[in-house]
Structure 1
Amino acid sequence: MSLQRWLVGGAALLLSMQALAVGTGAGTTISNTASASYTDTSGNPQSVSSNTTSLLVDELLDVTVASNDAGYISVSTPESGAVLSFTVTNTGNGDEAYDLVVNSALSGDQFDPENALIYIDSNGDGLYDAGDTLFDSSVPVQLAADESIAVFVVADIPDAQSSSDLGLIELTAESMTAKASAGSDAPGTVFAGQGDGGGNAVVGSSGAAAAGQNGYQVALLQPSFTKSQSVTDPFGGSAAVQGAVITYTLTFSASGSGEITDVILSDNIPDNTSYVAGSITLNGAGKTDAADSDEAAFDNGAVPPRIEINIGTVTAPATYTATFQVEID
C-alpha cells in the first residue's frame, strides 16, 4: 500500500492506493483537503486549509466462472469419474468467500450426468489429481481480489447412451455476502457494513454470481494406439548390439461401435538404424515396400525415412497389428 499526493487547482488529494487490476481496493480511505491562499490587509500572503473529508471505498461483489476445456469432453457409456475443468475468478476489489453449486439437470441435452462432485485444485497444478480437495459447502472458497482458482466437476456417465449424446453441467459461484439475502441481487444492491475493510458491500455487474457451462459427449468408438519392440541379436540373444534386428509392433484398436475414416499409421526409422527391406506386415500378411495397391509403403525419400500403413476406414470393434524391422548400424 502506498500514499500519493496530488495538488490540483489548489486541492490536495490524499489517496491510499492498492495496486489491483480490479481497481482501488475495498477498505481504502480516500481523503481530500482543500487549501485557499490570500493576501491579508497588511499585504502579507496567507493560506488556510479546509476541513478534511474522507470516505471508505466499498467492496464490489463480482465473479466469473469459465470453462477451461476446449470443447465437450468425450466419454464412453458407462464411465466413472469424467472430469470437467473450470476457473473461478474474484473480479471484485476485496477478499470474498464463494459458494459453489453444480447442476447436472439442464435442458438441451440427452442425459443427466450422475453423482457430480466439485473438487478444488488445492495443489495449484491445474490438473485433477490426488492432491485436490472435495469441496465442502460449509467451507466456502476464499479468494482475494483478482485471484483465480481451478475447480473440477467429476461425474459419472450413465449406461445405454447413444453416440454423440450430450450431458451438460453448470457450475455456479456466488458471493457468500450476497447469498445471505434471499433471491438474486441486482447490480447496485448495498449490504451495509458488510464489505471487506469495513465499508459496504455493493453487488457488481455480475450480480455477485456467475455460472459456467460445459458437458460430456458420448463417443461410442474409442481408438487406442500402442507400440512395442523386441530385439534379436546376431548370436540368437536379445542384446542391442550392432547388427541386431529390432522388430516394432504397432497396434491400432477401435472399441465400441461406429466408424472412423482415413486411418494412417506412420513411424519414422530411428537414427542409427537401417530399415530391413520387405519387413512390413499387417495383421500377419506381408506387404510390399512400394507405394502400390496394398496398404503399406516404405518412404525412403522422406526426412527421416518412414513407413506408412494406410488402413482407411475402420469399423469398430476392430484391431490392426502392423510390424516392421530395422537393423542397428
Structure 2
Amino acid sequence: MIGNRVRLLLLSGTAAMATFSGAAHAQTAAQSTVAGTQINNQASVTYTVNGGSTQSATSNTASFVVDRKVNFTVINDQANASTKVNLGQTGAITSFKVTNTTNGIQDFLLSPTQGTILPQLLGLVTGTDDFDLSNLKVYVDKNGNGVYDPGTDVATYIDELAPDQSVEVFIVGDVPTTAGISLANVALQVTVAAGGATGTQGAALVDTSLSLGNADMTTDVIFVDNDNDALGPDIARNGQGWAYASYEIGARNVAMSVTKTALVVSDGYNPLTPKALPGAIVQYCLLANNGTLTAAANGVVLTDTIPANTTYIAGSVLVGLPGGTCTLAGAPQDDATVYNSTTNKLTVPVGTLTGGASTAVSFRVTIK
C-alpha cells in the first residue's frame, strides 16, 4: 500500500494566520506602509513519496505595491475666526494649518479666494462681508516659527510635506481705506499634489477609478479625505480641502492730536531776544501726532485761520518732521494750493501718519 503525506507551509512577510473583522486597525500616516512599497510573498510545499526523503517545491512570487491613501486636513489656525485690522493696513495676515495624513510625501497647491456668501452659510463667521482686500497672496511658513516673515516666507505652495507633518500657511492682503467697511471673508483652498521632487511644484493628483480592479504593480491613488466644510465647495474624496477666516475692521479712530505754538523770530530791534512788536515776524508751528501705535491715520489735513492783527507771509508754509524751531528739512508749499486769501485760511494736506508718527507744519505772519 502506497501512502502519501503532503504538508503545506505558507510563508508571508507578516503573519501565518489572519483574523478578519469589519473594521481596520487605526493607524497614523507615519505608521502606515509608504505608498509604492513592494510587498513580495512566496509559498512552499514539502512532501514524501513511499516513505522516501522529504521533498519540496516553491511557488512563484506574488507581488503588489501599496497604494497611495490620500488624506489631509486644513484648518483656520487662529485664536479667533477674524483678524482685527485697521483701515489702510498693508500686509494683514490670516493663518491656516495644513497637515498631511497621506501614507507618502506630498506637495500641496494653495489658492486664496475671498467672497461674501460661503462663510456665512457655514456659520464660520458673523457679520456681513462688505469689502475685498487688494494684493491678496498666499505664502508658506519656511522656518516653522508660525509667524509670517516677509522676504523669508515666499513659497506659494507646500513642498515635500512628510506624513503626519504640518505647516503653517498665511493669506496676506491690503485693507482699503474706504470709510464704513467692516468685514472681509477669505478662504484657503488646498489641493493635494504629487511629491518626490524637492523644489518643484507637483501636479495635482488624480484619483484612480474605483470601478477598476487593483493593479498589483501600479501605485493607485485613492482619495479618502472628508468633506470638511459641509455646505461649501468641498466634497468627500475629492483631494481638496477648504478653510475660512475673516478680516474685521478694529480701530475706526486713532488718538490724533495737534499742538500749536508761536515763536517771535525777529522784530527789527532785538536779534537775540525779539519781542512781539508791531512789524515783528512770528512763526506758528502745528504739530500733529498719531498716538495709536497699531493704526494709521490717512488723509491727514491741517487747517488754520490767520489770526486777526497779523498778515500772512506769502510762501512761508513748510511741511516736515518735527525738530529745531518746528520742521526739519521742511518742504515749501505752493500758496495757490494751501492758502485762500479770501478766507485768510490755510489748508495743508500731509498724507498718512502711521502709528506713533508725527508731522509738523510751520508758517509765518507779520504783526500789524
Indicate yes or no: 2:121 matched with 1:105: no
Indicate yes or no: 2:240 matched with 1:209: yes
- The counterpart of 1:218, out of the listed 249, 261, 268, is 249
1:74 deviates by 1.1
Aligned-partner residue type, residue 77 of structure 2: N
Aligned-partner residue type, residue 134 of structure 2: E
1:110 deviates by 2.6
Q: Structure 1, unaligned stretches of length 5 or more?
A: 1-8, 225-251, 257-329
Q: Would you say the 8 A contact 1:22–1:91 is kept in 2? A: no
Q: Deviations over 1:190-227 (max 9, x none)?
A: 8x99xxx9733333334222111111112235799xxx
> Which aligned pairs between 1:2-151 and structure 2 lie closer than 5 A?
10-14=9-13, 20-21=29-30, 23-42=32-51, 44-71=53-80, 72-107=82-117, 108=120, 109-130=129-150, 132-136=152-156, 141-151=159-169
Q: Which residue of 2 aligns with 1:270?
A: none
Distance in 1, Cα, partners of 2:211 & 2:185: 31
Q: Which residue of 2 aligns with 1:235?
A: none
1:75 deviates by 1.3
Indicate yes or no: 2:191 matched with 1:174: yes
Q: Would you say the 8 A contact 1:171–1:211 is kept in 2? A: yes
Aligned residues: 211
Distance in 1, Cα, partners of 2:224 & 2:132: 32
Note closer, same or farther for the CA distance 1:106–1:39 as it changes in structure 2 (3 Å cut).
farther
Note closer, same or farther for the CA distance 1:189–1:217 as it changes in structure 2 (3 Å cut).
farther
Q: Which residue of 2 aligns with 1:263?
A: none
Distance in 2, Cα, partners of 1:32 & 1:88: 37
Note closer, same or farther for the CA distance 1:222–1:22 as it changes in structure 2 (3 Å cut).
farther
Who wins on radius of gyration, i.e. which is larger?
2
Aligned-partner residue type, residue 151 of structure 1: V
Q: Would you say the 8 A contact 2:87–2:177 is kept in 1? A: yes
Distance in 1, Cα, partners of 2:96 & 2:41: 43
Note closer, same or farther for the CA distance 1:23–1:74 as it changes in structure 2 (3 Å cut).
same
Q: Deviations over 1:137-195 (max 9, x none)?
A: 6xx633233332111111112223547x321111112123599579x8698598x99xx
Q: Which residue of 2 aligns with 1:292?
A: none
Aligned-partner residue type, residue 169 of structure 1: V
Note closer, same or farther for the CA distance 1:185–1:13 as it changes in structure 2 (3 Å cut).
closer
Q: Would you say the 8 A contact 1:56–1:199 is kept in 2? A: yes
Q: Deviations over 1:239-258 (max 9, x none)?
A: xxxxxxxxxxxxx97999xx
Q: Deviations over 1:282-311 (max 9, x none)?
A: xxxxxxxxxxxxxxxxxxxxxxxxxxxxxx
Q: Would you say the 8 A contact 2:185–2:244 is kept in 1? A: yes
Aligned-partner residue type, residue 30 of structure 1: I
Q: Would you say the 8 A contact 1:123–1:131 is kept in 2? A: no
1:82 deviates by 0.9
Q: Would you say the 8 A contact 1:221–1:255 is kept in 2? A: no
1:103 deviates by 0.4
More strand per residue = 1
Note closer, same or farther for the CA distance 1:223–1:48 as it changes in structure 2 (3 Å cut).
farther
1:20 deviates by 4.6
Aligned-partner residue type, residue 212 of structure 1: A
Q: Deviations over 1:28-79 (max 9, x none)?
A: 1112222334443215444433222010112233332112101111112232
1:26 deviates by 0.9
Aligned-partner residue type, residue 28 of structure 1: T
Q: Structure 2, unaligned stretches of length 5 or more?
A: 1-7, 15-27, 121-128, 196-201, 226-236, 256-290, 296-368
Distance in 2, Cα, partners of 1:186 & 1:33: 28
Aligned-partner residue type, residue 247 of structure 2: Y
Distance in 2, Cα, partners of 1:133 & 1:170: 19
Length-normalised TM-score, structure 1: 0.53
Determine helix, strand or coil for the equivalent of 1:217: strand
Q: Would you say the 8 A contact 1:11–1:32 is kept in 2? A: no
Q: Which residue of 1 aligns with 2:299?
A: none
Aligned-partner residue type, residue 67 of structure 1: N
Note closer, same or farther for the CA distance 1:29–1:155 as it changes in structure 2 (3 Å cut).
same
Q: Deviations over 1:236-277 (max 9, x none)?
A: xxxxxxxxxxxxxxxx97999xxxxxxxxxxxxxxxxxxxxx
Note closer, same or farther for the CA distance 1:150–1:253 as it changes in structure 2 (3 Å cut).
closer
